[in-house]
Amino acid sequence: MKRAMQRLVTGAAACLLAVSAMMLPHTAASAGPECMFIRYPGLGAGASCPEPITGGGTGTSSSVPTTDDRMNSTPTGWWTYQNVDPDTVSALLSSNDARPTDLRVLSASPLRFSVTMVRNTGAYASGYWWYYGVTMTQVSNLLSTNNARLISAVRYGSVYAVVMVPNIGANAKAWGWCDTDFAGIGSCLGTTMRLTNIVSYAQNRFVVIFVNNSPGYGWCWYAGISRAALNNVCNGQSVLDISANPDGTFNVASVALDGDGRVHSFTSPQALVNYAVASPPDRPLFVTPYVANGTTNWITSFRYNS
């Protein structure tokens, strides 16, 4: 049965941020600023980087969700698409009356995405913006202009693809994001922040998003762990985000929620969708490919959708 492997989350105490045996080597930064973060809503950031490429995206700004998408088990319509170009993403968002909740770059040239969406109604109704081909400075300016915060961010080359939501009202959070190395993640988080998203783009280089952990959730993150280790992150915490490294290891962020956020791998995107819609239904939080033994697989974390 689909939920026979349901895990029990037992504690609210935060796990150790990393285990030394799982650490990536602390190599020098490959490019770009080490860290950029926004500690409070409405404040800009101090780091900048060159602007060799410009670009844009599409979106709307109206209502605000009161619950983080990746921690929300309210049933909703959802979609995930692989290897789609920017125009196709825009068209799908419009035709599905949806908004993007996760965006991954599968290819920089031509630009192709993995995108996961939810229906933009009910508990998930929110304004949003998404952009691609934008520099860190441009992202910072757009966040300020839109009074927004990031819910998804990836780097490809010297630019980023990002998804934003309004950071106002009940959804306003102290939050931040960093483009940094393994050691820099801890510096960005400090003692009050909780990691929600982690994506690698080069050896020991990560783009991470974090929020203030004022609710006091137990949580943890790892970089460079095995596929097997993803099956029981921090003794069964709910997995919010996973990214794959070229060496076959993974990075993960998790939070202590009731037995949800289950990791599964599939041999094709269609197999993933078939599993998700089978009873009892689930919703994938993201979909990202990885290679194991020369074969491409797709991995996600599911939340209940019933």
Give domain limits for the chain: 20-260
Measured in degrees and rounded to the nearest 5, phi and psi for residue 193 equal: -100, 155
Q: Which residues pair with 134 in a beta bridge?
A: 160
140 half-sphere exposure, CB direction, 13 A CA radius: 19
pLDDT value for 1: 55
Average pLDDT value over all residues in the chain: 82
**Mean pLDDT (whole number) for 234-255:** 95
Stated as kind and residue range, the H or E segment containing 295 is strand 295-304
CA distance 157 to 241: 22
Q: What is the reported pLDDT for 9?
A: 27
Q: Which residues in 231-264 are b (16+ Cβ under 10 Å) and which e? A: eebbebbbbbbbbbbeeebbbbbbbbbebbbbbb
Residue 291 has pLDDT above 60, yes or no: yes
Output the pLDDT for position 66. Answer: 58
Range list of β-strands (E), 70-144: 78-84, 98-108, 111-119, 128-134
Residue 77 has pLDDT above 60, yes or no: yes
